[in-house]
Chains A and B, each alone.
Chain A
Amino acid sequence: MRPFSTATCDIENQQSAKSINLYSAINQALHIALETDPRTFVFGEDVSFGGVFRCTTGLADRFGKSRVFNTPLCEQGIVGFGIGLAAMGNRAIAEIQFADYIFPAFDQIVNEAAKFRYRSGNQFNCGGLTIRAPYGAVGHGGHYHSQSPEAFFCHVPGIKVVIPRSPQQAKGLLLSCIRDPNPVVFFEPKWLYRLAVEEVPEHDYMLPLSKAEVIREGSDITLVGWGAQLSIMEQACIDAEKDGISCELIDLKTLIPWDKETVEASVRKTGRLLVSHEAPVTGGFGAEISASIVERCFLRVSNFIYFVLLIEYYREPIQFFFIESQAFHCTNNLILAPIILNILASTLKTQKEENEKNKKVQTMLTCLCGDKRMHAAEWN
């Protein structure tokens, strides 16, 4: 697979960078976290000899068994102890071996971690807690090793959910999560652990949370995704470009609290939105995005005349597409690329048909109330 493009991500004071894969980037971040703050601890099942995905390789040797250690097979305990550790002012980095195993710890995360600050009137918190867990399809993971449970956690106020798409992103985002004063669930795309390779700066850097990134600019449709899905969507964008469709691709990075503004601005520009995630459609986070965007870009239109004109103008003001890829298990992530392409092609077809009419309407519209399409922000 080709390397990821994260060139748009600006990292200040870029010093030396090495080409490494995603698990090594995570490993680097953990080294830096342990190095820079003596109150940092890394623990989980089998982490002291590197963990099943090698993310914690060398940490125990370097920082000692009292800071990097194995726990018994007990997820509820791992998170519970992490909360306690964090509540005493430490940075607890807990590893759940697979996101699929996180459910025994669900109560601890939802009821204990997320609400600690609020229910103690800000006397206590477990902001130093970061829970790392590999998520998503890996091609042959089966029922208990390929789930994408991010939507469950996105329903919980009080925690952040972050998913990186590439090695460089993973390092910067993980360091931000560890240092963020809120408990964070950090899902790592296990499909990319070895597959994704890119230049990663060796120094200590952080990438902002709750800030989406426009990876690719375009004008016909906005594509929103996160984690491993980005690589597939990026491929779809490239393929679509050959058919003359210009796609804008956005990496959400932080799922809660998410960057509505960036997505909104893009949808206002393109008028179409496609959200793709590995998790099942029903109750998925894509539904949340579409609902918010509808609310922001459509229903809030206050001017009735405008409303009518808008409908007339766009016919289908915003087109939403959903893709369900990993209902329970799925053989290959890559099947998605052609499906996305298919949608884009049909979009293009409709678009071509409507283009002629649109031009006429636009002329009319411009005569009536100025070129509002170009100044979409004024709608609200």
Chain B
Amino acid sequence: MRAWRELTEYPSAIVGLLIIAVVVGLAVYTLVTMPYGEAIRLWRGGEEVWQDYPKNASPSWTNLFRQSDLPATVVLDTRAGTAEKSLDRSTPGITDATLDFTFDWTADYFPQELSLFTYASFSEKQPFVEVTWFTPDDREIKVADLSSKASDAYRFEADASLVRRLKGVAPQRALLADPNVEELTPLKGQYRVRVTGLFFEDDGDLDAKLVSYGQVHGMAGTDHRRRDLTVALMWGAPVALAFGLLAAVGTTITTMFIAAFGVWFGGAVDGLIQRLTEVNMILPFLPILIMVGTFYSRSIWVILGAVVALGIFGSSIKTYRAIFLQVREAPYIEAARAYGARGGRIVAQYLVPRIIPMLIPSLVVTIPTYVFLEASLAVLGLGDPVLPTWGKLINDANENGALFNGYYYWVLQPAALLMLTGLGFSMVGFALDRVFNPRLRGL
């Protein structure tokens, strides 16, 4: 309690605790709202999950720093009632479907892509689908004649004949451009896209979805596979916390017990432990983890086990040993021996509890190291194969040249979260160090 009161006297500790609280809150919120299976399904999903999401779109909040806003994604779907549909079955053997998509364009920029997804129900013959584009200044542009399968995707910019008719200008620009202005600028106003379907049977039915992909999307933006980055950013929190905490606790506690045993039993045991520590210092930590990752398993839990195993004889043994050597001579230990306590009991009940206060700061300070270690491995391409993590986002971004291509948000968001988590624990750890380490208190 006294320690707690002293800790709150450090402003950095309070800031650190607040940061930790926020990250833990995010982790809990994530676990509650997006269970493990759901996150994996979303993150590993392909076109079927992320069809309506733009590629490499910046987060919406980047609009706050721009003079004119980048457009967001617009989805118009007849099935959702955001577009009109009428069916004409008056002629026997023929069904006429007319679909109207109306939207207002107010942004100063063009959409990233335009796509039309058609869903036709027919029994034998594929329907003819005709797409026509009406601009606010009443121009009528014929976009395409298609024959639709049961479910089909028409991507405007991939249609070579449309691009040719639009004089080589990408359709998502040409269709929205103001014809009276030399430079390509969007013409603001109400656009209408008419899709007509001609079925050669009585009960054909056509539904369609028009997607104008925006240049910004959601809270966090999207990646090269149209995935919403919020999934990975949110799930990164519990993963990072679990990995950091478990690795820090695992290594600190095993190291402490080994140091205690060495000091208590002395002689050959102590010598062996000391030599092993020296060997451990030469073992290349990261290359060994890389070997485990490449040859054996990339699962985050296997890597965690390897980290703890390699950390058992870490260099902190020397620090703990120095403390235990002092504690060993304390009178209460002698008293315990006098009543006949054996080695194991003395180590577990007398030596170890004594240094736990000194242990807490170093434990908290090492958490960020492991949080960043997970990210480091992910950056090397050894991230967990299924879990989305912050490190894997940075790795994806790096592999796709995010910094070079100007997709800064892709790197900055996971990096900011990593930094925040690291700083939070580190600030609290430093303050704890001062509280528990009287020698540092005045400094």
- Is A bound to B? no
- B: residues with CB less than 8 A from A are none
